Structure 1
Amino acid sequence: MSRTITAVGAYVPQARLPAEDVSEAWGRFDGAGIRSTAVPGADEDTLTMAGEAARRALEASSIEAADLEAVTFATTTPPLEEAELAVRLGAFLGTGDSTRHETAGASTNAGVAALADALEGDSGPHLVVASDAPRGEPDSDQAHAAGAGAAAFVLESSGGARCLSRADAGLDYPGTRFREAGSSTVDSLGITPYEREAFTETIGRAVDGLGESFDPSSADAVAVQAPNGKLPYRASGVLGVDTDVMTDHAVVHDLGDLGAASVPLSLASALAAGEKTVLGVGYGSGSVSTILALEAGESDEAGAVSGEVDFESDETISYAESLRLRGEITGGEPAGGGAYVSVPSWQRSTPQRYRLEAGECPSCGALNFLPQGACRRCHELVEYEPVQLERQGTIETVSVISQGGAPPEFAELQARAGDYATAIVAFDGPGEDDEHASAPLLIVDAEPDSVSVGDRVEATVRRIYTQEGVTRYGIKARPLE
């Protein structure tokens, strides 16, 4: 295998739902071994989480999005059932005209398999992103365990972590974790001994496929698919490893079941922490397993992997709040009215809406956002030079939209998330001359009355609203810590 992992990035929503809150609501908690789960915001989905993780990985690398040969997006819960969403992810990032885009899915093994496939390439840089937010019926094991998060990996031709070995296995175990056509929730037959057998036998078959190429017991860290906090440890026997090497970078206990992002997030954590030999053990119902053995250098060596991974959050929410955020007890598209921007018009402005592309006036040098019409400073009608704004800026004005005050297109967002703040943000220009350009945005990841004029914020891509069945994505701002 020729490519290596040179940088990683990760993103996990801030909100945490404690297991005891679910237990209080249902009289039980069926997410074995889980203390809390990560809950996506009302304007977050697997695509927006993928975009955030990917941006962080690219910032930790020496690669520009426009130079990527390929982007792979792996998920079991895409926002649309039929669409090449990796292309939209590429648009968030600004990939090149010749970049190849691929979407992988069908099982929770998709994230590990996509990473393993990309490592086998030997040409230009490749970005692999696994993002997931599985759902289940509210009173099911799957719903109680469901979390959300994304991990991204930048692959290059040298440096970083190299693949020592790969093995795959597939066995037919119908009825283990499936999602029926037209359903948004995963299910299973709930036959525990059967599911354990499928899990351990399939992983064991993949271990046999490693042969003498890699000894799992030599791994410093092991990441195993974790639909709950107990099942992965049942694989310790067939892997021949102590459970200690599985717990250090396990994410399931505090974040929940992360689907296709489960193993990738643990791998990203281990690589960012400087673990030298890391084993990733993917598993998907059906059943399939991909095992990937990686070797990285120490933190001060050429083979080290760059990037930071931080899963900490002190924002806890109640069970009722989690149902609202997930849209379980609210929903429905607004019945007309409000602003309307056609999909073709929105598409033409995606460089601005996704990546904050402004225009520089050739007459006076002022930065204009949006880059159209007369210059805000000299008032001349000009052809603007494209300029990429920085993703950080300063709040110039801010106001809070209270319940019932939202425009119709934002009514569902307000029903799910509550009051929200809007602001005019002056984003920094690329130079050192204090030039900036201002844009009106919604504020996220903060209580609406906690942001003030002068606060520093950063841009992030979120869902704006949905009309005609098509979601408009764009920039929002969140406070910098």
Structure 2
Amino acid sequence: MQHADYRTRHRETNRQHRSLVRAEKRRIVRKEESMTIGISSAGISVPIRRLPVIDTVSQWNNTSADLIVKQFGTECRTSLGSDEDTLTLAHEASHNCMDNARADPSDVDAVFFGTVTAPELYRGCANALMDILTASNAYTSQDVSAAERSGIMALTNAYAYISSGLAHQALAVGSDSLCRHISCCCLRITAQDCMSVNR
């Protein structure tokens, strides 16, 4: 008789436990459905200087201007000024983003800076950017370096931090140049190389 009572109580306890677990799962699903994660604002910054391809090729005589202009449709390249780098461009874009969102940079919980052409080798760009934007140091920062995917990886990391609850407001930045020090020799490409890429 005691054994039967024990089994009955055990079944009842298991039933109650399962119903509590189901209720908790429903609550979590409802909470996740009500929590919308998205991009609240965006900002851009592009260097103002333009370098005509024809002038560059005529100086360096390293490739065909017709190939670059006609086949690729590139008439000029954007070139960094002597006082510009990926960090200054990121600062201007982030400032524009914060203005567009009417947000305060000190409210940012996490910043992710995607670049492979960082202006400094040892100092983190994400920290340098936040030093420029705000005096607050209550944030998590991360430099992301993933070849041409650095910016999208920064955005992915920001999403992951927000969806996991580690951050409420994140700033994802992607800023790159063709190389750290842009010069005319960056156009070194042969017609044969271009043809083999396009086949």
Please list, as runs of the form range in 1=range in 2, the aligned pairs for 1:26-425 lying within 5 A after superposition: 26-27=60-61, 28-29=64-65, 31=68, 32-94=72-134, 96-120=136-160, 121-122=162-163, 123-135=167-179, 143-144=186-187, 193=196, 196=197
**Cα RMSD after superposing both structures:** 2.8
Inter-partner Cα distance in structure 2 for 1:10 and 1:139: 25
Work out which structure has the larger RCO, using CA pairs closer than 8 Å and 6 or more positions apart in sequence: 2
Go from structure 1 to structure 2 and tell me whether the alpha carbon gap of 1:98 and 1:138 turns closer, same or farther (over 3 Å shift). closer
Contiguous gaps of at least 5 residues in structure 1: 146-189, 197-230, 235-481
Q: Secondary structure at the match of 2:136?
A: coil
Go from structure 1 to structure 2 and tell me whether the alpha carbon gap of 1:5 and 1:57 turns closer, same or farther (over 3 Å shift). same
Inter-partner Cα distance in structure 2 for 1:88 and 1:138: 25
Q: Secondary structure at the match of 2:168?
A: coil
Residue type matched to 2:153 in 1?
A
Inter-partner Cα distance in structure 1 for 2:136 and 2:103: 12
Is contact 1:68–1:96 with CA below 8 Å preserved after alignment? Answer: no
Residue type matched to 2:148 in 1?
T
Deviation at 1:127, TM superposition (A): 0.7
Deviation at 1:96, TM superposition (A): 2.6
Contiguous gaps of at least 5 residues in structure 2: 1-34
Is contact 2:111–2:158 with CA below 8 Å preserved after alignment? Answer: no
Inter-partner Cα distance in structure 2 for 1:16 and 1:40: 9
Deviation at 1:63, TM superposition (A): 1.8
Is contact 2:43–2:96 with CA below 8 Å preserved after alignment? Answer: yes
Structure 1 residues 254-273: Cα deviation after superposition (integer angstroms, max 9, x where no partner): xxxxxxxxxxxxxxxxxxxx
Inter-partner Cα distance in structure 2 for 1:137 and 1:6: 33
Residue type matched to 1:127 in 2?
L
Inter-partner Cα distance in structure 2 for 1:105 and 1:42: 24
Inter-partner Cα distance in structure 2 for 1:192 and 1:2: 46
Deviation at 1:106, TM superposition (A): 3.8
The equivalent residue for 1:24 is: 58
Inter-partner Cα distance in structure 2 for 1:9 and 1:137: 23
The answer on 1:6 being equivalent to 2:36 is no
Structure 1 residues 306-343: Cα deviation after superposition (integer angstroms, max 9, x where no partner): xxxxxxxxxxxxxxxxxxxxxxxxxxxxxxxxxxxxxx
Give the number of the structure whose residues are more often strand, by fraction.
Answer: 1
Inter-partner Cα distance in structure 1 for 2:184 and 2:171: 37
Is contact 1:17–1:36 with CA below 8 Å preserved after alignment? Answer: yes
Is contact 2:56–2:184 with CA below 8 Å preserved after alignment? Answer: no
Q: What stretches of structure 1 move > 6 A for 4+ residues in a row?
A: none
Deviation at 1:7, TM superposition (A): 0.7
Inter-partner Cα distance in structure 2 for 1:44 and 1:95: 23
Deviation at 1:20, TM superposition (A): 1.5
Inter-partner Cα distance in structure 1 for 2:151 and 2:41: 16
Structure 1 residues 42-83: Cα deviation after superposition (integer angstroms, max 9, x where no partner): 111111111011000000003210000111111111011222
Residue type matched to 1:41 in 2?
G
TM-score, length of structure 2 as denominator length: 0.66
TM-score, length of structure 1 as denominator length: 0.29
Identity %: 27
Number of aligned residues: 150
Inter-partner Cα distance in structure 2 for 1:125 and 1:89: 16
